[in-house]
Structure 1
Amino acid sequence: MRISTHPQAMGMALGLIGVIIFGATLPMTHIALGGFSPFFITFGRAVIASVAAGLTLLLLKKRWPRGQGAMLLGAGICVVYGFPIFSSIAMQTIPASHGGVILGILPLLTSIFAALVDGERPGPAFWAYGLAGAALVVFFSIRDSGFHLQAGDLWLFLAAITAALGYVLSAKVSRIIPGWEMISWALIITAPLSVVATLLVMTSGVHAPTGAELGALSYLGLMSMFGGFVFWNAGLALGGIARVAQVQLLQTFVTLAVSAVLLGEVISLSTIGFAVAVALIVWLGRKARIA
């Protein structure tokens, strides 16, 4: 029994490291928006990550994984472009702490795509916990805006959909090659578009950035776009997509903490209460049966 549960435990641990890295993404995006447009942030961070990925692949003398081009391109479009642009637009109008709770719907969406794309079959209890967590997130989002969805909420929901699909595609490839190699090749295959788009939006997308704003953009490229996926992809592939995806509900706590420290956002007791409720569902959901 110990042998059979070891991969799951290791997958959960690796996934948690990725979640901690991802948790600072929305606050860092908020900071970067002071000096860059959403489009420049999207393509600029992709270029930074592509350089890091290319150097890593070159130093380790890795070869192109044959037969994985379509999957890598699909994952790249979702995680390199989809989530960054949608979340950057959202951060223009809503607080990072609010967005962190909204993204609590990610695990449920990832589980849905895992069932549709990867053939995983979560049991009824798992879906019940996932739906309960998603319901809390949706209620939280409309409660903060007088029970009306804000434009920022809708952009974040789009960001969550593209991220969830990208996670599943990434995890499928990460069963064949290591997680760091998967995200590296996804960045390389999309690099030509990233470079061209960055040059096109540079004139209108750079607004005299400060050191803090440059640092935030560097974090988004090196950590959110590259380093975090090294751990996250490995965790999903090792521990099971639907189960490890539930760990991402804990990302809310990281985002709340970083938002309070870096942005000075006031975190209300009700926000913490919603985050605690969502975390409880994570703990219950990880015990549910998944085939």
Structure 2
Amino acid sequence: MRVLSNQAAGMLLGLLGVTIFGATLPMTRVALEGFSPLFITFGRAAIAATAAGTALAILRRPFPRAHLPALAGVGVSAVFGFPIFSSIALQTIPASHGGVVLGVLPLLTSIFAALVDGERPGALFWLCGIAGSVLVIAFSLREGGFHLGPGDVWLLLAAVSASFSYVLSGKLARVLPGWEVIGWALVLCAPLTFAGAILFAGSGIHDPGAAESAALLYLGLMSMFGGFIFWNAGLALGGIAQVAQIQLFQTFVTLAIAALLLKEAVGPETVGFALAVAFVVWLGRKAKISRAVPAGSRA
């Protein structure tokens, strides 16, 4: 029986996580019909924290005090940063548009992997990443009448938050189970998320129906908790910069769900940009990636 290599296993786990994340923008659009951006941010985190805290308590997992700063960083960027920025963005742009804009995630994740985790992609990797980002920006400019709209700016901030949290999570997942990384980050943020959910409940709940409530539940249980279980494990096994390229498929998942669920028009131009980004990131996967040698160590 053939056993998958660490990189292959990491890619597979990453793909499972990305498939779950791919529904995030369409589900956020649905949830916005019944909730405000701020309530969605705090409400989804409260749901996720409840699930994570319950699992950690049942399994009696000890709190990893040594990793408190990194867990706090994951919490700020993943629990608050991405949800609030993306919710604000999706008030003015379609989910399908946002899915293509988030094609910049692999490049941003690789940049943070180099800065935070010491990974050193080669020239080909960076050239492909930059080319993909140029395509994403060109798409946004064309869709917005050749100017960056507020929604694009908010979504780029969401991408920065997400990519930073991915690198911190992937680094922690080498020493902790992936689900514990996001679980403890959610628990650390729980006092703020529950307080925020209560604070914005009065003004942030706009007579939601079953669809809007189900979308919020998905954002909490899957986008904010379940998806990270697979994603963090994949980053730890396969390498952050390499597995980050799997995020490209998130664009296609988002486009498909936006078309099916929201009936958003996904024209040939949108698909063309997505395919072009897919091609350059695929080329980037062939590039070599090394790791910086810590000071004082010997080869």
CA offset at residue 282 of structure 1? 2.5
What's the CA shift string for 1:259-278, capped at 9, x where partnerless? 00000001000101111111
Corresponding residue number in structure 2 for 1:264: 263
- State the distance in 1 between where 2:57 and 2:285 align: 38
Corresponding residue number in structure 2 for 1:18: 17
Matches within 5 A, 1:220-235: 220-235=219-234
Q: How many residues align?
A: 289
Q: Structure 1 unaligned runs (5+)?
A: none
What's the CA shift string for 1:17-38, capped at 9, x where partnerless? 0000000000000000000000
CA offset at residue 145 of structure 1? 1.1
TM-score, with structure 2 as normaliser:
0.95
Corresponding residue number in structure 1 for 2:101: 102
Corresponding residue number in structure 2 for 1:175: 174
- State the distance in 2 between where 1:251 and 1:132 align: 18
What's the CA shift string for 1:133-161, capped at 9, x where partnerless? 11110000001111111100000000001
2:71 is the counterpart of 1:72: yes
CA offset at residue 206 of structure 1? 0.5
Please give the secondary structure, in 2, of the residue aligned with 1:264. Answer: coil
CA offset at residue 281 of structure 1? 1.9
- State the distance in 2 between where 1:253 and 1:194 align: 31
User: For residue 48 of structure 1, what is the amino acid of its counterpart?
Assistant: I
Please give the secondary structure, in 2, of the residue aligned with 1:121. Answer: strand
CA offset at residue 130 of structure 1? 0.6
Corresponding residue number in structure 2 for 1:189: 188
Please give the secondary structure, in 1, of the residue aligned with 2:5. Answer: helix
Please give the secondary structure, in 1, of the residue aligned with 2:165. Answer: helix
What's the CA shift string for 1:69-121, capped at 9, x where partnerless? 11000111000000000000000000000000000001100000010011000
User: For residue 201 of structure 1, what is the amino acid of its counterpart?
Assistant: F
Please give the secondary structure, in 2, of the residue aligned with 1:287. Answer: coil
Corresponding residue number in structure 2 for 1:244: 243
What's the CA shift string for 1:197-223, capped at 9, x where partnerless? 111111100011010000000000000
- State the distance in 1 between where 2:29 and 2:206 align: 14
Moved more, 232-241 or 277-286: 277-286
What's the CA shift string for 1:37-79, capped at 9, x where partnerless? 0000000000000011011111212111130011000111000
Corresponding residue number in structure 1 for 2:158: 159
Corresponding residue number in structure 2 for 1:35: 34
Corresponding residue number in structure 1 for 2:295: none
Corresponding residue number in structure 1 for 2:132: 133
2:122 is the counterpart of 1:123: yes
User: For residue 246 of structure 1, what is the amino acid of its counterpart?
Assistant: Q
Please give the secondary structure, in 2, of the residue aligned with 1:195. Answer: helix
User: For residue 26 of structure 1, what is the amino acid of its counterpart?
Assistant: L
CA offset at residue 284 of structure 1? 1.4
Q: Structure 2 unaligned runs (5+)?
A: 291-299
What's the CA shift string for 1:135-191, capped at 9, x where partnerless? 110000001111111100000000001111111111111111011111000000000
Corresponding residue number in structure 2 for 1:213: 212
User: For residue 6 of structure 1, what is the amino acid of its counterpart?
Assistant: S
- State the distance in 2 between where 1:283 and 1:8 align: 15
Give identity over the alignment, percent: 64
Runs (4 or more) in structure 1 with deviation over 2 Å come to: none
Moved more, 251-260 or 52-61: 52-61
